[in-house]
Structure 1
Amino acid sequence: MLPHLGAGAGQGLEDAHLLAKLLGHPQTDEKNVHLVLEAYEHTRKKRAQMIWERSVAAGDKYEGRGQHGYTARGMREDLHDLWEPVWRHEIFSDLQDAVLYLQDKGIFRLQDEAMHA
């Protein structure tokens, strides 16, 4: 991860949290762990790509290649709201998305089915 948003370590923590939750899920076992890891990648890849692209953009703007120029005001305009989707992310929604992905693929049973099994 590029350093321009200061988000790499935070992403590492988010990744570790989601991996721990998925690998510790009651329906994860040795037969489906590779599919659970696939769900993790499916869920996190889009966010990682978005942060990387915004970090590239921030680096360009720090170097004066932003649309509004290399002035304090221009950089402020160019950098405005660049961090918003990085800071305002609900990590618990990633877990829900990954579990739904696994349920849709038939790897995890629906919660009601799992409770009655």
Structure 2
Amino acid sequence: MYRQIGIGCLAAALAWSTAGCGGQSKADAEKAKAQQQQQQQQNKSVIDQELKRQYQMYREMRQYQLQQQNEAEQEAKKKEQEAKKKEQQAAKETQKENEKKSGGQNKKGEEKKNGGEGKDEGQ
């Protein structure tokens, strides 16, 4: 009987000692797991921050490219308009010169006609 009580006590002591050790290992495992999750979240947040920074840089570069493209297009339109104006002015000047030449010939012809008549009238 003492034997059974002794064996029972030893079994109970063994159970309590292993239960306490197992509880600590579970707690340690949970702490380690929590630390690992926290570290993963920190790594994710670092990665997210880096991605956000790179995306912001991309947006700024894209905005700059679009701005430069718009400026180039506006400048090209402006040059095109100036070229059209110069072309129109050149056409007008050519037309005026042609009118002067043809008008001068017509006037000379008219003067000859009028001049001949005018000379007759004056004499």
Q: Give the alignment's TM-score, normalised by structure 2.
A: 0.27
Which of the two has greater helix per residue? 2
Which structure has the bigger radius of gyration?
2
Q: Give the alignment's TM-score, normalised by structure 1.
A: 0.28
